[in-house]
Amino acid sequence: MCVCVCEEPCYQKTARRHNISIDIVSEDISLARNKANDKAIFIGLDRLLSWKLNNNDYIFIKNILNDINNVPNVKEFVAGYKIHYEKISDIKYQAEFSIYFNINKIKNWLSSYDVGFYENLNSKIIYLNANFDSFKNWRLLIDNIESVKEISDLQILSLTYKSSLIYVTIDVINETSLFNIFNKSRIDIQKRINTNNEYNISLIDYNKTIIDSFEANDKNIKKDSSILLTE
- CATH of residue 165's domain is 3.30.70
Is 6 contained in some domain?
no
CA 37, chain centre distance (Å): 14
Residues in the chain, how many? 231
Is 5 contained in some domain?
no
- The reply to whether 148 and 60 lie within a common domain is no
Is 231 contained in some domain?
no
Is 45 contained in some domain?
yes
- The reply to whether 112 and 144 lie within a common domain is no
- The reply to whether 105 and 156 lie within a common domain is no
pLDDT for position 141: 94
**What residues make up the domain containing 30?**
14-118
Is 226 contained in some domain?
no
- The reply to whether 158 and 145 lie within a common domain is yes
Is 230 contained in some domain?
no
Write down the pTM of the prediction.
Answer: 0.59
Is 218 contained in some domain?
no
- The reply to whether 24 and 106 lie within a common domain is yes
pLDDT for position 68: 60
- The reply to whether 140 and 98 lie within a common domain is no
Q: Which residues in the chain come in under a pLDDT of 70?
A: 1-18, 68-71, 119-122, 206-231
Distance CA 93, CA 30 (A): 10
Is 179 contained in some domain?
yes
What are the CA-CA distances from residue 171 to residues 50, 80, 178 (Å)? 16, 28, 9
pLDDT for position 205: 78
Q: How many domains does the chain have?
A: 2
Neighbours of 173 (CB within 10 A): 13
- The reply to whether 24 and 96 lie within a common domain is yes
pLDDT in tens, 32-81: 888 888 889 988 898 888 878 877 888 899 888 887 656 678 888 999 88
- The reply to whether 97 and 31 lie within a common domain is yes
pLDDT for position 29: 75
- The reply to whether 67 and 47 lie within a common domain is yes
Boundary of a domain, candidates 71, 101, 118 = 118
- The reply to whether 114 and 141 lie within a common domain is no
- The reply to whether 103 and 29 lie within a common domain is yes
C-beta of residue 62 within 8 angstroms of C-beta of residue 46: yes
Boundary of a domain, candidates 76, 92, 118 = 118
Distance CA 185, CA 147 (A): 7
Boundary of a domain, candidates 118, 150, 185 = 118
